[in-house]
Amino acid sequence: GESVGLHLPTLSVQEGDNSIINCAYSNSASDYFIWYKQESGKGPQFIIDIRSNMDKRQGQRVTVLLNKTVKHLSLQIAATQPGDSAVYFCAELGGLNDYKLSFGAGTTVTVRA
Amino acid sequence: DSGVTQTPKHLITATGQRVTLRCSPRSGDLSVYWYQQSLDQGLQFLIQYYNGEERAKGNILERFSAQQFPDLHSELNLSSLELGDSALYFCASSGEQGGTQYFGPGTRLTVL
């Protein structure tokens, strides 16, 4: 069977290593997913998005994977840097005519030097 | 910098009072969304406006109201404030409904 990554509220990663942040979403009708990064005292910052007709999308040092079968989303950060320390949220748009974002609980990533 | 601006950055007030939070969306964006972020509830959607019209409501209290003006800026009004209303309030905007939402820096409200 396929393993599904668990959502962890915190993640500690060594600088230079790759990070994987997992998220389970709830609405099977959701067709748009976004990862946000929130640093202390700031608003959520867009990182990368993916639509439900895709299963993978790559950006600069980041990759988002979508598994609709098990309603799972992951964010991979390559060569994690100290500036990547933040809280990461996945968010889903509910589908037809539903434009509000529903956010996951967030994962706090701490990068160790 | 997302291009979304919010004022004030911080607001400290007393229970029972009324405050107004202001948001200017990114240039050209017609949709404005308000979210509340508290420690125990996380990020929660409050309300959405599109080109001046209310389009969606979340778990917004009756003591809270919002509007979007012809110049597309939006205001969130919070009245009869309670201690539990202390939170970060974020505004986001998107160019189209269902498009990527870009968030402002937030207003931190403290009710004493």
CB distance B65 to B46 below 8 Å:
no
- For residue range A77-91, list pLDDT tens digits in order: 999 999 999 999 999
Note whether A98 contacts B56, CB cutoff 8 Å. Answer: yes
pLDDT of A2: 38
Question: What pLDDT is stored for residue A5 in this prediction?
Answer: 56
Which residues does chain A have within 8 Å of residue B42's beta carbon, measured at their own beta carbons? 103, 105-106
B90: chain A residues, CB-CB within 8 Å: 43-44
Using pLDDT thresholds of 50, 70 and 90, give the confidence band for residue B96: confident
Asked if residue A16 lies in contact with residue A77, where contact means CB atoms within 8 angstroms, the answer is: no
Closest CA of chain A from B96, distance in Å: 10
Which residues from chain B sit within 8 angstroms of residue A35, using beta carbons?
none
CB contact under 8 A, B2 and A46: yes
**Segment B26-80, tens digit of pLDDT:** 999 999 999 999 987 789 999 999 999 999 999 899 999 999 999 999 999 999 9
Q: Which tens digit of pLDDT belongs to each residue from A33-75?
A: 999 999 998 999 999 999 999 999 999 999 999 999 999 999 9
Smallest Cβ–Cβ distance between B56 and the set A36, A100, A106 belongs to: A100
Whether residue B34 contacts residue B101, with contact meaning beta carbons closer than 8 Å, is answered with: no
Query: Residue B45's CB: how many other CB atoms inside 10 A?
Result: 21
DSSP state of B15: T
Q: Would the pLDDT of A1 be above 50?
A: no
Asked whether the beta carbons of residue A44 and residue B90 sit closer than 8 angstroms, the reply is yes
Residue range B75-96: average pLDDT? 96
Cβ–Cβ of A100/B98 closer than 8 Å?
Answer: no
